Chain A
């Protein structure tokens, strides 16, 4: 019995420390899923580095393939409607204990979401400063809550031409 309790304790500590892992390249385990973390620079001449963070289960890591009609123009940004207040609420909720530290670290989060025609998220991608204080568990929470709560609606007919609708014009989140 003591052995079982000890084992359970070890497992709990492992998962907790896993979730609190710093977001460093390449693969970081959250509680339930693994995230890919990749370092990059915005422009070749830049000195500051950033990281992309996304679930290893994401489908379109290498980009959205062209559809049957490769000449289709991408859907216009004004035909994609997403509640950016809900995005902000989810992020604020997940990072509520770090608000001040995030501000002191001058952090910013960029987001790209891929939706299906029903408005559900297929993939979520996050972009942060390389020295972010946000950890894997927090990213997992944000990713999960996004997929549960964020829905897109579309106007016009253009979106019907696409299997994957790219919402890459979300406002940056600045802390």
Chain B
């Protein structure tokens, strides 16, 4: 899910003779310094003392629930489950040993448990914001379940549980479901009283006021983190273009994360534009995340990007 994983860029120039090392993009009729620049941030490396991930551990479990310990460590460990190590060789935090305790619902097969661990491993080694989230919740316990459904995941922030709908969703290619859900846990830890009061009533399907604030903030977070443009995927093409240009402006075409200080002009402008897009997002026909909008500011997103760097 990284904007630098696939080698794509935010702009292509046509007709230029830019040197390959001096121009992040190719062009038609423009020189390197022509307008609309940008491009991809450098590929992630393992600066400093960050060491390769060397193994995953699965602690096994009891008769009704089992517990997997997912370890991303700077020292060699033995994978008791025989799981492959994550493909990204960078560790996720400055600590030497970050561990997320994984509790499985009792109904899960061994294969499903393995797949969930692999999914978490994929999530934990993605873009820097997701590595941050993984490290942020290290040493906490999360319960993972699978129920019947169709390619989705839901989280319950009151008991740290994530439920995948279908076993297929609990696979590494759907690690973006965890990106989504772990940001909700981060929101829960950011806002006083948590975000449970902004949730969707599972039995009635009625969204509480503020539900759209929470979901839109998640979508913007994800689009900034990954270079995707998912928030307005069902909006009109013009809305998508407007939103995309706003995100490009915030991130200097995917090269930085926004750093916003309350009270600054940039912050005020950000909130104004954010609210404008929030209103449009809420009005997209058929949007299941729609709800009455509250005055909740996107503080989780702001806090996270004020901390995380794009080349962590």
A binds B: yes
- Are B285 and A63 closer than 8 Å at their CB atoms? yes
Cα A85 to Cα B177 in complex, Å, equals 31
Which of chain A's residues 111-156 have a Cβ closer than 8 Å to chain B? 112, 123, 125, 127, 156
Which of chain A's residues 76-133 have a Cβ closer than 8 Å to chain B? 76-79, 81, 84, 87-88, 91-92, 95, 99-100, 102-103, 106, 108, 110, 112, 123, 125, 127
Cα A103 to Cα B27 in complex, Å, equals 10
- Are B14 and A88 closer than 8 Å at their CB atoms? yes
A-B contact pairs, 15 of them (CB 8 A): A40-B238, A43-B246, A45-B272, A66-B288, A77-B226, A84-B12, A87-B12, A92-B28, A95-B28, A106-B34, A125-B237, A157-B168, A161-B150, A168-B229, A174-B25
Cα A138 to Cα B241 in complex, Å, equals 21
CB distance from A47 to the nearest CB of B (A): 14
Tally A residues with Cβ within 8 Å of B.
Answer: 56
Q: How many A-B residue pairs have CB under 8 A?
A: 175
* Majority SS at the chain B contact face: loop
CB distance from A78 to the nearest CB of B (A): 5
List chain A positions with a Cβ less than 8 A from chain B: 38, 40, 42-45, 50, 52, 54, 60-66, 69-74, 76-79, 81, 84, 87-88, 91-92, 95, 99-100, 102-103, 106, 108, 110, 112, 123, 125, 127, 156-158, 161, 166, 168-169, 171-175
List residues of chain B with CB within 8 A of the CB of A78.
Answer: 1-2, 5-6
- Are A156 and B173 closer than 8 Å at their CB atoms? yes
Sorted nearest first, the 7 A-B pairs with minimum C-beta distance are: A99-B29, A125-B237, A74-B233, A103-B29, A156-B173, A66-B286, A174-B36
List residues of chain A with CB within 8 A of the CB of B29.
Answer: 99-100, 102-103, 175
Cα A95 to Cα B234 in complex, Å, equals 31
Report if B221 contacts A (CB, 8 A): no
CB distance from A74 to the nearest CB of B (A): 4
List residues of chain B with CB within 8 A of the CB of A42.
Answer: 241-242, 245-246
Tally B residues with Cβ within 8 Å of A.
Answer: 60
- Are A70 and B288 closer than 8 Å at their CB atoms? yes
Cα A62 to Cα B239 in complex, Å, equals 10
Cα A77 to Cα B8 in complex, Å, equals 10
